Amino acid sequence: MPSTAAERRTWLAEADCDLEVFRSLVEQETDPGDYPSAERAEQNVPLYDSDRLRGLAATAEGRRNVQSELVRALLDGPGIVVLKGAFADAAVVDRASETFDALIEEERANGAARGDHFAAPGANDRVWNALDKMAVRAPEVFADYYAGDMLALIAEAWLGPSYQVTSQINVVNPGGAAQSVHRDYHLGFLPQERAAAYPAHVHRLSPVLTLQGAVAHCDMPVESGPTLYLPHSQKYEPGYLAWRLPRFVEYFDAHHVQLPLEKGDAAFFNPALFHAAGHNRWTGVRRMANLLQISSAFGRAMESVDREAMADALFPVLLRRKAEGASEAWLRRVVAATAEGYPFPTNLDLDPPVGGLAPPSQADTVWQAVVEGWAPERLRQELRASAGRRRS
């Protein structure tokens, strides 16, 4: 029986994937006038100078205006922005790279196999769950890195407060082949028939639960294969069913854009954007990127992270930096990247709301410990007790 128009709006199928409709979206030009805070648009992508954004976002009203512009770009515009100099201190980036390299060598020595979602196993050096590995291994380095203000600016813009950071390190070695085009987590990781089982409104919802990011840990000329993007493709509603289809793959291969990046630059994009890591054709560069997948408090992150161990490792650093004069904003950004910011799910028999509608989150507890200068053992005991209260 043929479906009705109402049913087609409720459910999506491969038959709804029309390349001409797709082309009408992705072949539009990005109007630089729509993004007045950007320095320019290059290959349809707004490029922002992070120092300028810091100045524009110095007041509450200015911050809200900048964040509104970033949301427009990610949702209704090209779906991607580049923040030049997002991680401005090269020494901070280099120390993080040293930590990542040490993790790669350690896992390689242990014989751990590292698969990739959209490339052949072994093509890249990949570190999964890099966030907690870095926090426990090098908490000082972690604190300096994740105190980055541009990450907080755009994560709060797209996801709101209590976002949760996860991270994977990807190194594409010389000669490393490109990934296949894809959309990302959540629906992007499902097989075709499973994605089609979700109603259309879930296809619209999924992208706003995650912010994708990639921080350049080295200069990335085009020859080194920085990520391939198709601006405006996130707006195509059946895209989670279209990206595997040969005619859409061929179109992507012929029309994608590729932006060179410098060390410390960061690209952030809507996870529904059609994209793929590029082919590293430059023999002189191991292309290292820190791939950030930042999740809404209301969604499910891709990786399970031991945030209790992270908080225990980072707390002495937070106390020391507070004593040295670190600002409240700096400290809060590190706490946001470290601890669980959302208080649910929990066992409300054991963990009832007190003085409000919800019990304190893990991040609330860590922040209280920073403000009040708890001993590390007190925080460790409270975090363990809080975890116990959340169990069924």
pLDDT at residue 9 in the model: 79
pLDDT band at 1 (very low <50, low <70, confident <90, very high): very low
CA distance 307 to 135: 9
Contact between 198 and 142 (Cβ < 8 Å) = no
* Rounded mean pLDDT, 319-346: 96
* Side-chain half-sphere exposure of 215, counting CA atoms within 13 A: 27
Contact between 133 and 103 (Cβ < 8 Å) = yes
Instruction: Annotate 135-191 with three-state secondary structure.
Output: HHHCHHHHHHHHCCHHHHHHHHHHHCCCCEEEEEEEEECCCCCCCCCECCCCHHHCC
Query: Edge to edge, what strands does the sheet with 210-216 contain?
Result: 40-42, 45-49, 80-84, 266-269, 210-216, 287-295, 164-172, 124-127
Residue type at 11 in one-letter notation: W
List, in order of start, the domains of the chain with CATH numbers. Answer: 14-25+85-295 (2.60.120.620), 307-389 (no CATH)
- Least confidently predicted of 21-30, 109-118, 147-156, 274-283: 109-118
pLDDT at residue 2 in the model: 42
pLDDT at residue 86 in the model: 98
pLDDT band at 348 (very low <50, low <70, confident <90, very high): confident
Q: Is the dihedral of CA 84, 99, 310, 365 positive or negative?
A: negative
Of residues 6 and 163, more confidently modeled = 163
pLDDT tens, residue by residue, 369-388: 999 999 999 999 999 999 99
